A and B are shown apart, each in its own frame.
Chain A
Amino acid sequence: MTLPLSINNITAHYGTTKVLEDLSLDIGEGELVSLLGASGCGKTTTLRLIAGFLQPTSGTIRLGDKDLTKLPAHARDIGLVFQNYALFPHLSVRDNVAFGLKQRGIAAAERNKRANAFLERVGLDHLADRLPAALSGGQKQRVALARALVIEPPLLMFDEPLSNLDAKLRVDMRVEIRKLQRANGTTSVYVTHDQEEAFSISDRVAIMNEGRIMQLDTPETLYQRPANAFVARFVGFENLIPMTVTARDGETVTASLSDGSTLKFSQDRFGAIDDKFVLATRADGLSVSSDPGAEGIAAKLGLRTYLGRAYQYECETVAGKLIANGALSNPLEPGATAKLVPVADQCTILKPE
């Protein structure tokens, strides 16, 4: 069984401090959505509201046609996986996994059978009689995963489940989590502050900041078309350059920087362009050209670093310090002047902040 989750206009406070503001989020049946954001932005708070450990000040949370805010936490039927595993230290691995089944009144023989089956799925059937203290971090998290999945919840939630594991194991485990989630088709909310982790396993990612969702989209869209400056910076657009439109000719728009130098943009590529906008690129999206006649941003080159596939330069321009890449065939010295030419398909444009 799996159900869609719908969070509508949730506001939440700790004491008098507002932690979430008017947050809405719809997650489709079987979809995995990540909440991604810096420490303290309200990810865990959102999960705790859904799980029922915290009451929202206003707003509703619906799972299928149930209004979760009217149910106590123990009746919400949600599988939770915690960062610190939260296994029951006094129960064997098997009893940990069977705990939820026991609460559902399933007889001992049957729940042990199901627990064993799930332990086999996560590759831990040989450790069923151990206590959690005798497991490694990765094994503990597998037990926690089995414990949350065995009750076949309509919703699964993960709060930074991999951040206590080492890098290699993190990658293995996230693939495993995604496979199990896919196989069961369970609607899932996944909290992380690791962008790669979020992008690699999610159907959609919600990027959060200070209790709000800044953008909710597929990883591809977020990566290539951030909707605002915050998300752009978050996904690694180093260069945000304010521009003003000076001329329009059909679909071609000419815009200038504060020093008067101009660049041309095609509305076929970027959609309708407002009179004031921000050009956003990663270092890849600005190409360093030593040709003084090139149409680009005048720059004085600073520190050069070697990336293997290109050289990267720190550049002083009228728009402040920009990061741009240059060809390996033509290394330029610090102090040289050059033009930074935007690479159209590596750029996006944003509304001014």
Chain B
Amino acid sequence: MTTRINPALIGFTALVYVFLIGPLVIIFGAAISDTSYLTFPPQGLTLHWFENIWAISAFRRTIITSLQIAFLATTIALIIGIPAAYALNRYRVQLPGWLSTLFVLPILVPEIVMGFSLLRSVNVDSGVPIFFTLLIGHTLLVLPYVIRVISAALSSFDFSIEEAAISLGSRPAKTFFTIVLPNVRSGVIAAFILAFITSINDVSVSLFLTGPGISTLPIQILAHVEQFFDPTIASVSVLLMVLTVIVMIIVERTLGLTAVANTK
């Protein structure tokens, strides 16, 4: 017996895919077009626009800054967010209900407002280097996502497993690393990827916090399109996507492997 699938459903699914993938195809096409303006379908084939990214020093610098900020902000957010999410879930019965809401509240604040307040409170008077203001801004930006995603992973974690380990002689702190973390691994990976992508694509917060000599890639892209309309933009976008995918793969591999190593 075969299951008949409604042809309308197949059509609809195909449409969704076209909708999702279409823009990507257009960007890829535009990035390799041998024309001096953005166009699709590509006319001629060249990798010139990719070389051009490296030739423009502002792109070179901002790519590195963006990667550094995204990586550091994500790492710091995980270091703060994992224990916070753990505490929120472990002591859920003892803690007031509004507390976990409080931790995800920043998601509701428009990012642009957050960037502006950070600008006023940190950047202007305190003399903190721009790189660190950016880092603080991005950490605050991604922290609620980290807490949210790790909390979701922990909410299905059975804490009696932790108690079993402790009763068998494992210290609570060690138990956290050998028993709790390996079991919320997928949550940590998801949080890392989500935070990294949020940071590396962010415009609103960065807009206020970049300054002389330091900018992020999305801000640089904005600056570039104000003056030029060449396919470099498309090739930068492709590069950004490729970098993000590479980071996702690396994260998946390394965090995946640590968890496997832990079982030995």
Contacts and interface: CB of A to CB of B under 8 A. Distances in A.
A95 to B, nearest CB: 7
A95 B171 contact: no
Contacts of A78: 167
Contacts of A147: 164, 168
B137 interface: no
Interface in B92-130: 94
Interface residues of B, number: 21
Contacts of A88: 161, 164-165, 179, 183
Interface string A127-155: 00000000000000000100110010000
Given A86-B158, A88-B179, A92-B263, A99 B168 contact: yes
B259 to A, nearest CB: 7
Interface string A66-105: 0000000111111110101011111110010001100110
| A53, A78, A95: residue with the most chain B Cβ atoms closer than 10 Å | A53
A80 B161 contact: no
A86 B157 CA distance: 10
B114 to A, nearest CB: 37
A51 B165 CA distance: 12
Nearest to A74: B166
B172 interface: yes
A89 B162 CA distance: 11
A87 B169 contact: no
B163 interface: yes
A80 B163 contact: yes
A103 B263 contact: no
Contacts of A86: 158, 160-161, 163-164
Range of interface residues on chain A?
Answer: 20 to 34
Contacts of A90: 182-183, 259, 262-263
Nearest to A81: B164
B155 interface: no
Nearest to B185: A90
Interface in B163-196: 163-172, 175, 179, 182-183
A75 B166 CA distance: 8
Given A74-B169, A92-B263, A95-B263, A87 B163 contact: no
Nearest to B162: A86
A89 B161 contact: yes
A80 B169 CA distance: 11
Contacts of B170: 74, 99, 103
Contacts of A87: 161, 164
Nearest to B93: A14
Contacts of B262: 90
A206 B168 CA distance: 26
| A89, A144, A147, A151: residue with the most chain B Cβ atoms closer than 10 Å | A89
A92 B163 CA distance: 18
A15 B96 CA distance: 13
B183 A74 contact: no
Contact of B167 (A79, A84, A92): A79
Nearest to B167: A80
A81 to B, nearest CB: 9
Nearest to A83: B160
Nearest to A73: B166
| A15, A73, A76, A84: residue with the most chain B Cβ atoms closer than 10 Å | A73
Contacts of B259: 90
A158 to B, nearest CB: 12
Contacts of A51: 163, 167
Contact of A84 (B158, B166, B171, B183): B158
19 contacts: A15-B94, A51-B167, A73-B163, A74-B167, A74-B170, A74-B171, A74-B175, A78-B167, A82-B163, A82-B164, A84-B158, A86-B161, A87-B161, A88-B161, A88-B164, A90-B262, A91-B263, A99-B165, A147-B164
Interface of A: 15, 51, 53, 73-80, 82, 84, 86-92, 95, 99-100, 103-104, 144, 147-148, 151
Given A76-B167, A90-B182, A144-B164, 18 more contacts: A74-B170, A74-B175, A75-B169, A79-B167, A80-B164, A84-B158, A84-B160, A87-B164, A88-B165, A88-B179, A89-B161, A89-B183, A90-B183, A90-B259, A92-B263, A99-B168, A147-B164, A148-B168
The 5 closest A-B pairs by CB, nearest first: A103-B169, A100-B168, A86-B164, A86-B160, A80-B167
